[in-house]
A and B are shown apart, each in its own frame.
Chain A
Amino acid sequence: MNEMLWPILIPAFAGLVVMILPAGLHKLRQAVALIAAVLTCVLAAMLFSKEGGPPYVLPWFQITQTFDFEIALRADALSRFIVLAANVFGVLVVLYSLSYMKGRERLREYYAYLMWTLAAANLALLADNLLLLLIGWEVLTVLLFLLITIGGGAAREGAGKTFVMIGASDCAMLLGIVFLWQIKDTLTLSSFSHETVDGGIMVIAYVLLLVGALTKAGAMPFHSWIPKAAEGAPVSVMAFLPAALDKLLGIYLLARISLFMFELSLGLRLALLIIGAATVILAVMAALVQHNLKKLLSFHAVSQVGYMVLGIGTGVPVGILGGLFHMLNHAVYKCCLFLCAGAVEKRAGTTEMEKLGGLARAMPLTFIGFLIASFAISGVPPFNGFVSKWLIYQGLLEVGGYTSAIFLVAALFGSALTLASFVKAIYSVFLGQRPPELANTRPAGFAMATPIAFLALICVLFGVFARVPIQYLIGPAVAESGAGEIRLAGLWEPGLATLLLLLSVAVGLVIYWLGSVGKARRTSIFVGGEVHDAEEIRVPATGFYETIRTAGPLEALYREAAEGAYDIYVLASRYGSNIVGMLRALHNGVLSSYLAFCVVGLLILMFVLLKI
């Protein structure tokens, strides 16, 4: 059997086993899920290490002579590295879930859906037939919906919204694929190679596919499902899908259509850049004022997509490299951040930032993981986020012109705001006074801590030794896209700086141990002679950026955003319900009006047929 089939079949089969196992054998269920995830990951690594062999084709269903649905798989450099990354996240999330999901309902379904998600993602990533890709894609949509519902009552709205929004994008993709087939008379993905996007239908087809990619990745204006889903979904689901896998898939499709299948015109490229820049700025503005850690992270999951779209929209090799690298980096640090949030939720019982504080001492490893990932997402050197953002900036500079300067400024500004919002998050969760009800918080257990530590380590390694992933993971994909040779204007080598940073941390620790910092005197708090308890003088971080919310023109913007004026879902349902209202008014339940419909219908029929 072809080696490309295994990463699809094994998790699919494991999901079936997990679903069938009786309730009593829960430990075995977990073991099966974990082993299958690890096995799939190993197979993905083996697939990665090989040069892409010939495509695998199994004819299945010919709807017309050329509308040929075949099980066609192909592993080129882009697919190979994204499949590998996706499966690594699969292992981490299954491991994390062992502890995080303990005691929840519907766990049988949960592990089965996780397995099937892996299978469907691998299918979508390896597919060489557009319809096969779509099928993987839609199965993922349904599984995401089902996974979110496992969150219980609070997750219902978010699940519905997610299903509807991604479902809409799937429909758009379906239409786009059928249009493409009508123009090119084939469904084989690899037979599209740098087609020029010209003519009305071709542009429509590209845009329809683009909608599919952007909705999955969560770029504006198709982003609003992510924050809504974050409200109720289990954090492990958020960390796995919207934060990691959906980014990988969405950007995979964006890269596939924009770099491999089509040659974009200047106008479309500009449109991509505008979408990217707007996403970066607007989503980070929304993130600034969030009060819930999960929602804050989810808005950042939107904002960061902007960078990837910017990178790919530049169309120059360095930019593309940066965009793809940022996709990978984002998956790493955002997954890490969500896992940390999950650990906090599990131990402290909430992710409302008002109710949290001072957890650094109780959960040191989670704190360090969160800190590193926050630096990475804010683009602080020497972590991985810095490198990929730096490459994207280079790409923008290479494009040149005044317009790209605007995008560059937007990207830089977004980065600064990201840092600002993580200052708030870190302070309110891990620093400051710990509320008395959290006095007995325990650190995260092994199953939760391991993925966090691993991802934080990757954040550092990919930052310090950025040449390795660029050369071995992403470089081949960029080269294969035919974008041209990568000319790096300069890649900062942070080896020395990192050494100095580590040294300074070590020195700090030495001072801490030797000095009297640890032996500081502790007294109760008093102001003007009156003793206050800790709760009274605690400063929650939720008010940090209130001034931005209430500043001049921004106030109206924030208010309208809160009402959903910029949410495509809310807008569509508002206009949709108007139409429904009009139609319902016609159906008044009175027999005579129904008879009138029939008579009018018959008269029109007679008029059309007899032309009287």
Chain B
Amino acid sequence: MDNPQFLPLFVALPLAAAFLIPLLSRLNRALAETSSVVTGAALLLLAIGRINAPAAVYNMGDWRPPFGINIVSDSLSSLMLLLIAAISLCVIVYALSYMKSYTARPKFYTLLMLMIAGMNGVVLSGDIFNLYVFLEIAAISSYALVAFGTEDEELEAAFKYLVLGGVASSFILLGIAFLYSLTGTLNLAQLAQELEGMSGNRMLLLVSAFFIMGFGLKAALVPFHAWLPDAHPSAPAPISAMLSGLLIKALGVYVLIRLFYTVLDIGPVAGTILMVLGLLSMVIGVFLAVGQWDFKRLLAYHSISQMGYVMLGIGLGTPLGIAGAIFHLINHGVFKSLLFLCSGAVENRTGTRNLKELSGLCHRMPVTSASCCVASLSISGVPPFNGFWSKLIIIVAAVQASTTTSLGNVAYVIAGITVLVSFMTLVSFAKVQKYVLFGKLPERLAKIKEVPAAMCVSLIVLAILCLSLGVLSPIMLKRFIEPARDAAVDRKAYIERVFPNTETKTAHLGD
């Protein structure tokens, strides 16, 4: 399974499924669902196969870079692939029964498969233009999915998302064009080679500003976050889970890590900017979340705040900080998609997501309640669940930065803010638990039942993941996170992987 020849399948499989689903569903309506589940499972198997695989490069059509297009898989991308595959399989299984109340289900699965193809493509692409194309594939299918309910609110949210996402995409494209004019190449490894020692170049700095804005918008960093609290809650719950759990990470955070640690070298200022944006997102996101009464909007604001943690860790730039950030990225993917799926289960049964109208669901929906409780504790950073460990690592990294970086005593303040935000997260999830799960069951809800088995299975699997990622965090850190971190920060290794013998350096497309 770890043959590099399989790498294109990560994109090809879901892409093929996306185009086959509309055709197959003409034959038999159930085929759309079956083929989605099969594709999801196949992707998961492929991704598991890549866990122990060495880093690999696949050249499309055997054209060597810089002439051909290549796919690069290192520990960081394998980890992302695994996360994407695992969560999307859970989401697909959940959607089997959740989407029953919607029409045009084959279209839903088509779009979902397109989105997965786009994300896998972004994560694997070794070429910045292809990265952009895959990013657009994923983004455009997500605009359509946000509007899937076609009510007023959904359409408005999707439109805002479309406009802001479009602005971001254009700046990214502009940045790519500038980069090409500067270096004459689009291959990431070659870009990294060409840009070595150019950290003060003004063109490069302008490109960096465009990229931070563009990918920052995809990652929903403050002040580029405003689309998210509309878009994520409006989508059907499985899609909310995909958007918050995966899309902002694959399209935003992953690319930022890849670009600013593997490709572009603009010196420590990149780290400082990411750190400041991260802190802003953490604080502003969590304050907005605390005041929310709409279950899904509350979760959406928390996505902003939690992405802030990830960015803070990345921005600190210390090995521990980046490791913590990547770990938190994974953990957030798990618990946030679980939370969105829980909110979907609650909405599905009670018909509301207003916290004030809910109460005492633990008496009637034990599986949903238990998994919601687990996810809430995870995101609030309560041991032994996974969120605690990654937050702890980020806090330790922040405090450690007082001596290992030039931050000095500011690092203590940053650690303080981090802990404060963690506390605010706990406050708002205390609110969620208090209103949704506990208390007295109102008359209106006396007859509700637990959600169907397919949804329960997804919830239980994700809840178990929350616990096991927490308990097994030492293994996670040593086996997965640290290799991924090393792959992200090791520019030389990345270049050498693509250009095994250094002579090829001269063979680039000329000026």
Instruction: Name A's B-contacting residues (CB within 8 A).
Output: 60-64, 67, 105-106, 131, 134-135, 138-139, 141-142, 145, 149, 152-153, 155-157, 159-160, 163-164, 167-168, 171-172, 174-175, 178-179, 181-182, 201, 204, 576-577, 579-581, 583-584, 587, 589, 591, 593-595, 597-598, 600-602, 605-606, 608-610
Contact = CB atoms under 8 A, between A and B. Distances in A.
Contact of A153 (B273, B384, B439): B439
Nearest to A232: B439
Given A168-B423, A609-B208, 17 more contacts: A62-B474, A138-B382, A159-B434, A160-B433, A171-B420, A178-B396, A576-B290, A583-B284, A593-B226, A598-B217, A598-B226, A602-B209, A605-B212, A605-B213, A609-B206, A609-B209, A609-B266
A299 B151 CA distance: 53
Given A61-B473, A153-B440, A168-B423, A598 B213 contact: yes
Contacts of A160: 430-431, 433-434
B412 interface: yes
A571 B452 CA distance: 43
A449 B435 CA distance: 36
Interface in B62-78: none
Contact of A178 (B213, B291, B399, B437): B399
A334 B508 CA distance: 81
Contacts of B245: none
B100 interface: no
Contacts, number: 169
Contacts of A156: 359, 434-435, 438-439
A233 to B, nearest CB: 12
B1 interface: no
A589 B504 CA distance: 52
Contacts of B290: 576, 580
Contact of B226 (A577, A597, A602): A597
Contact of A63 (B160, B205, B216, B393): B393
Contact of A152 (B388, B431, B440): B440
A580 B163 contact: no
Contacts of B434: 149, 156-157, 159-160, 163
Interface in B422-445: 422-423, 426-427, 430-431, 433-435, 437-440
| Interface core residue of A60, A577, A587, A605 (most chain B CB under 10 Å) | A605
A605 B209 contact: yes
B54 interface: no
Nearest to A610: B205
A163 B377 CA distance: 11
B416 A175 contact: yes
A135 B223 contact: no
Chain A interface secondary structure, helix, strand, loop or mixed? helix
Contacts of A600: 223
A142 B373 CA distance: 10
B288 interface: yes
A141 B402 CA distance: 31
Nearest to A176: B419
A167 B438 contact: no
A431 to B, nearest CB: 35
Contacts of A149: 434, 437-439
Contact of B288 (A139, A145, A587, A609): A587
Contact of B430 (A155, A163, A175): A163
A105 B419 CA distance: 36
11 contacts: A131-B392, A149-B434, A163-B426, A175-B419, A182-B400, A583-B291, A587-B229, A591-B160, A605-B273, A608-B273, A609-B206
B269 A608 contact: yes
A62 B396 CA distance: 12
Nearest to B423: A171
A403 B101 CA distance: 73
Contact of B167 (A167, A179, A581, A598): A598
B395 interface: yes
A63 B230 contact: no
Contacts of A605: 209, 212-213, 273
A6 B229 CA distance: 49
B224 A601 contact: yes
Given A163-B430, A164-B430, A598-B224, A153 B360 contact: yes
Interface in B259-317: 266, 269, 273, 284, 287-288, 290-291
Interface of B: 159-160, 163-164, 167-168, 171, 202, 205-206, 208-210, 212-213, 216-217, 223-224, 226-227, 229-230, 266, 269, 273, 284, 287-288, 290-291, 320, 359-360, 362-363, 377, 380, 382-384, 388, 392-393, 395-396, 399-400, 402-403, 412, 415-416, 419-420, 422-423, 426-427, 430-431, 433-435, 437-440, 473-474, 477
A167 B320 contact: no
A581 B290 CA distance: 11
Contacts of A171: 419-420, 422-423, 426
B430 A609 contact: no
Nearest to B429: A163
Contacts of B288: 580, 583-584, 587
A61 B229 CA distance: 37
A152 B441 CA distance: 9
A60 B471 CA distance: 10
Contacts of B224: 597-598, 601
A59 to B, nearest CB: 9
B429 to A, nearest CB: 9
A160 B434 CA distance: 6
A609 B287 contact: no
A587 B438 contact: no
A584 B382 CA distance: 28
A579 B415 contact: no
Contacts of A152: 439-440
Contacts of A581: 291
Nearest to B427: A164
A580 B291 contact: yes
Contacts of A593: 226
Contacts of A135: 383-384
Contacts of B392: 63, 131, 174
Contacts of B217: 598
Contacts of B384: 135, 139
Contacts of B163: 591, 595
A221 to B, nearest CB: 17
A580 B289 CA distance: 9
Contacts of B440: 152-153
A602 B174 CA distance: 14
B400 A594 contact: no
A167 B426 contact: yes
B383 A598 contact: no
A606 B273 CA distance: 11
Contacts of B216: 601
Contacts of A153: 359-360, 439-440
Contacts of A201: 412
Contact of A606 (B206, B362, B377): B206
B420 A178 contact: no
Nearest to B266: A609
Nearest to B212: A605
A587 B300 CA distance: 14
Contacts of A139: 382-384
